[in-house]
Amino acid sequence: MAIVTGGASGLGRAAAEALAAAGAKVAIFDINEKAGRDLAETIGAHFCPVDISSEGSVVRGFADARAAQGQERVLVHCAMVNRSGKTVVRNKETGVLTRFSTEDFEVAVQGILVASYRLASHAALGMAGLSPLEDGERGCIVLTSSVAAQDAQIGQIAYGSGKAGVNGLVLPMARDLMDEGIRVNAIMPGIFATPLLGRLPEKVLNNLSASVPFPKRLGKPEEFASLVLELVRNSYFNGQTVRLDGGIRMAPR
């Protein structure tokens, strides 16, 4: 069984669809109940309403998914909560300085880094009780980082540091879990054609596409899903943070 967080839309949806098409039982964790239930019905998955920022909600989600589908061997964590803003901003008209609040920073780090640990550690605890497969493998965890972990832009102080923290989770967690036969990797997507980006004006989308070295377009969610499948299937992938970005390196702004 595979659990996909943020599975109702975007990269998570593509991953859930690909895993289901590959024959896996899938449980979708998302706060969007209508979209989640609609997709679950379409692909034969099980939907669990889950808020990744709540320990209790996550625990209930795992219990729900396992009761319906059995213990998961795969976790693909795509969901997040974020806040944007520059460290210090000067008002161009008044010259007044304001600061990105500690509270906003904490919300983002909780919603990106802490949530990644929360989901991965609960999944690992369950996976460790499974009977081992070939090579002694019991499970596979795929986290979603971002190219912003390495070259975050202006206004991404919380997002960039949160995603860098996700990258920092991967190797020590893979080492923690090596004796349990559980692999841990992360994907760092570049600019992908998700519903969130789809709200931007066409001119902005065209400029974003042109900024990618090759191919000069936005990434496709199914390309993210393809890499998820490879990370799940290829048991020699472990402790890795993999860029999937068309060769882009983000400019400061």
Active site residue 117: no
Pair 73, 139: CB distance under 8 Å? yes
In three-state secondary structure terms, 135 is helix
Q: How far apart are alpha carbons 61 and 29 in whole angstroms? A: 7
Question: 47, 62, 100, 159: which is the annotated catalytic residue?
Answer: 159
The distance from CA 62 to its chain's CA centroid, rounded to whole angstroms, is 17
CB neighbour class for 72 (10 Å; exposed up to 12, middle 13-18, buried from 19): buried
Query: Which three-class secondary structure string do you get for 176-197?
Result: HCHHHCEEEEEEEECCECCCCH
d(CA 249, CA 139): 32
- Which amino acid does the sequence have at 16? A
69 phi, psi to nearest 5 deg: -125, -10
> Residue 69 in contact with residue 81, Cβ under 8 Å?
no
Answer yes or no: are the C-beta atoms of 52 and 29 closer than 8 Å: yes
On whether the CB atoms of residues 1 and 8 are closer than 8 A, the answer is no
- Do 110 and 158 contact (CB within 8 A), yes or no? no
Which residues are part of the catalytic machinery?
Answer: 159
